[in-house]
Amino acid sequence: MVYLTDFLLDEVNMNKKYLGIVVDLVNSRKLENERRIFIHNVLNEVLNKTNEEFDNIVLSNFTITLGDEFQGLVEVKEQVIDLLFKLYRELRTHEIVARFGIGYGEMTLPFLKNISIGSDGPAYHKAREAVDRAKKTKKEFCFVVNPKDDDLMEKISSFYVEIFEKMNSKQKDAYLKLLEGEKIERIVEDLDYNDSSLSRLSAGKKQKLDTYLVVLKRCIEGLNKS
């Protein structure tokens, strides 16, 4: 018989703080079965890819805990912002709307590496508080990490979401390819995209989005100094 404790990462360091992330899918219970199955499959694929790509900072793998919710535990590193917004973009690419709650705090019970079930602590409690507030305020991102920065981080995240949501499908495709490091010439060829339009996207919207992410990363890094 295999027990959950067989997968323990290590004993909890009570002096260390973490970032708990809880994500709720909007209106998923009201969807037809076919769409729910599609979303479940997409979610499994996206979470497996995220756990693998960000393995260096994911301490407890992102796991579906309910049919319309998933959670994970990560290190307090600026790379968390890349993880969060990549998750957001991946879900939106499949027209999945989600509310992200991010909490900062300790863990009181040992956590597992392979699955985010069976542990507990303020990091998850605050993430739950954040996602509940996100549901009430209809924001995509809410933070309970630092009273001095929470409001700023939520406003900047909202600016990011607003710009991204206003992009048409080709602009989003181009932006995602730029993030992956593809050259403009290749993107123009692949998407049959007007070069001047892509240049405006590259110089305008992408620059703003990149700036927002930099500010958010500084807020996360500031937690290590507090």
Provide the percentage of residues in the chain whose pLDDT is more than 70: 87
Give domain limits for the chain: 4-146
pLDDT, tens digit, for every residue of 111-142?
999 999 988 999 999 999 999 999 999 999 99
Residue 10 confidence (pLDDT) above 60: no
40 contacts 145 by C-beta, under 8 angstroms: no
Q: What is the 3-state secondary structure (H, E, C) of the chain?
A: CCCHHHHECCCCCCCCCEEEEEEEECCHHHCCHHHHHHHHHHHHHHHHHHHHHCCCCEEEEEEEEECCEEEEEECCCCHHHHHHHHHHHHHHHCCCCEEEEEEEECCCCCCECCCCCCCCCHHHHHHHHHHHHHHHHCCCEEEECCCCCHHHHHHHHHHHHHHHHHCCHHHHHHHHHHHCCCCHHHHHHHHCCCHHHHHHHHHHHHHHHHHHHHHHHHHHHHHCCC
Q: Specify the CATH class of 4-146 in words.
A: alpha beta
pLDDT, tens digit, for every residue of 59-86?
999 999 977 899 999 999 999 999 999 9
Listed residue (226, 223, 81, 103) closest to 157, CA to CA = 81
Residue 154 confidence (pLDDT) above 80: yes
pLDDT, tens digit, for every residue of 177-196?
778 777 777 777 776 666 55
Residue for token pair 């495709």: 173
pLDDT score recorded for residue 196: 59
Residue 213 confidence (pLDDT) above 90: yes
pLDDT score recorded for residue 100: 97
Provide the percentage of residues in the chain whose pLDDT is more than 90: 57
Residue 2 confidence (pLDDT) above 60: no
Listed residue (12, 13, 17) closest to 223, CA to CA = 17
Residue 33 confidence (pLDDT) above 90: no
Which whole number is the average pLDDT over 102-113? Answer: 93
pTM summary value: 0.88
Residue 6 confidence (pLDDT) above 50: no
d(CA 157, CA 87): 13
Residue 11 confidence (pLDDT) above 80: no
Task: Name, of 18-32, 65-79, 160-174, 201-215, the range with top average pLDDT.
Answer: 65-79
